[in-house]
Amino acid sequence: MSELLHMPKTALEDLITILWREGFKVLGPVARDGAVAFDEVRKVSDLAVATRETQEPGRYRLVPGPAGEIFGVVNGAGSLKPFFFAPEETLLEINRERRGFKVTEVAPAAPRLAFIGVRACDLAALAVQDRIFLHDRFQDKHYEARRKDAFLVAVNCTRSAATCFCVSMKTGPEASTGFDLSLTELEQGFVMRCGSAAGEAIAAKLGLTPPPHDDVLLAKSRIDECAAGMRRRLDTADLPRLLYDEAENPRWKEVASRCLSCTNCTMVCPTCFCHTVVDQEEIDGNMSQRVRKWDSCFSLEHAHIHGINFRRKIEDRYRQWLTHKLGSWIDQFGTSGCVGCGRCITWCPVGIDLTEEVAAIRAYPVKR
């Protein structure tokens, strides 16, 4: 399954067309509202071509990129998450009957989706969400319905944003698993790798040839350079224990003085899975829908029960988020909840950087 092929840039047009013809709705990184987001793509020019971005804590700007470059933007606020774990969807319809009521499960709308331009961190995030929604004690049918037929075309990163730290999280910059096809973009075309039988079947329709050996070497060195140039780091050594032991570290109070508890980090995070369920009754009182919506551990209601709020302070909620993301997630699911995509850093309105917070806690521990 690791067959390498050379795909000319012009053939990307064919790949998109073939995927549509195979019944997929094709999505890729499209420039929209000053950022890229996964959106419908009919032709290559729909993609955010000849564009790059600059990312810093609390800052994101699209900037012109080299002509002819197709996948220049590393990422935007939107990951794959909303396409599989819907931000809002109806789970049940409950109809009042003469004596009692009838509960009907609502089948999810599940178009077959193909994504072009998925970065290694987002593939890793998808594996994390799969672990939660598909491979735990209880399975989520809605997630599964959308996930099972998805076709994923990865793009290996040859440049990183300043907020990226996938090397520390061991999730990138090269996509190693979880894709159907992967691409490394070079000036002279793509080096394509098949990652699944479905990927091989689609690639076969493109009539591609093996890549020149020089392209393979260049692709590898571009990825290696990207990894070597990634400045942001997170020391993951013994993180659950560090965060558990440092529950009383004064840094939590300090970061809480900056944190707005706005929930942005959890909304852009590709792995955050908290959700709430609300019952919405129709105005005639005869039907009620059970609707699932994304929730955030930064919301005040998250840990609230009758008369008690277990995480009343922002410092409690920031500690919950970071300790869960980097620590207790590992105990719960055998994997970190962080993939190093850097979105929580970029899209934090006050530029809080979790790598900096962990480093500060590690540098000044208070545990006896």
Question: Residues in the site for other proteins, rule: CB under 8 A?
Answer: 92, 94, 96, 99-103, 105, 132-133, 136-138, 140, 240, 244, 247-248, 273-279, 281, 285, 288, 295, 297, 302-308, 310-313, 315-316, 319-320, 323-324, 327-328, 331-332
* CA nearest to 27, candidates 62, 88, 78: 78
Half-sphere CA count of 105, side-chain side, radius 13 A: 5
Strands 25-32 and 4-7: unpaired
Task: Report the nearest approach of other proteins to the CB of residue 169 (Å).
Answer: 19
Min dist CB 304 to other proteins, Å, is 6
CB of 235 to other proteins, least distance (A): 21
Q: Could you give the count of Cα atoms lying within 13 Å of 178 in the half-sphere of its Cβ?
A: 24
Q: Is 97 exposed, middle or buried (0-12, 13-18, 19+ CB in 10 A)?
A: exposed
User: Angle at Cα 322 formed by Cα 358 and Cα 332, nearest 5°?
Assistant: 120
Question: Which of 180, 315 has the CB closer to other proteins?
Answer: 315
- Shortest gap between Cβ of 95 and other proteins (angstroms)? 10
For other proteins, which is the closer residue by CB, 127 or 227? Answer: 127
| Tally of residues, the chain | 368
The distance of closest approach from Cβ of residue 344 to other proteins in the complex, given in angstroms and rounded to an integer, is 16
Can the peptide bond before residue 173 be classed as cis, meaning omega within 30 degrees of 0? yes
The alpha-helical segments, DSSP class H, found in the chain are: 11-21, 81-84, 120-133, 141-147, 166-169, 197-204, 213-228, 239-245, 251-258, 264-268, 314-323, 329-333, 343-346, 354-363
Contacts of 2 (CB under 8 A, 6+ apart): 193, 194, 195
As measured in angstroms, the least distance from the Cβ of 108 to other proteins is 15
Q: Compute how many other C-beta atoms are within 10 angstroms of the C-beta atom of residue 279.
A: 10
Nearest approach, Cβ of 331 to other proteins (angstroms)? 4
Closest CA to 73 of 162, 181, 161, 179: 161
Cβ at position 295, least distance to other proteins in Å: 7
For residue 57 the two structure tokens come to: 């804590």
